[in-house]
Amino acid sequence: MRLALAALVLSFATGALAQTSPPPSSEETRELVEAAKATAKATRESLDYVRVTPDMLHQILVKLDKIEGKLDKVENAIKDGNARRR
């Protein structure tokens, strides 16, 4: 019981200490709002980047597979040409 009472008194004292600082001025509030907007914009851009990147990587890998297939065909044609010459 004493422990609960001590915790209650401590929580009220902590709340009172937090309220002793002066409220932010309108300029500080405006700066905080602008900072929050900038953070939201950066977060939104980051999410867009995260969504697009895997798709782009997939497209690049598909194109690399196609290039690899064409290179294999060229390589095989060169080998066939060299085998016919012998």
Q: Measured between alpha carbons, how far is 55 from 27 in angstroms, rounded to an integer?
A: 43
By residue range, what is the domain housing residue 62?
26-85
In a domain, 16, yes or no: no
Please give the pLDDT value at position 15. Answer: 54
Q: How high is the mean pLDDT of the chain?
A: 81
Q: Is residue 42 within 8 Å of 34, Cβ to Cβ?
A: no
In a domain, 62, yes or no: yes
Backbone CA torsion sign across 43, 25, 20, 5: negative
In a domain, 11, yes or no: no
pTM of the model: 0.42
In a domain, 12, yes or no: no
Q: Is residue 54 within 8 Å of 62, Cβ to Cβ?
A: no
How many domains, the chain?
A: 1
In a domain, 50, yes or no: yes
Residues present in the chain in total:
86
pLDDT(31) > 60 = yes
Please give the pLDDT value at position 13. Answer: 62
In a domain, 56, yes or no: yes
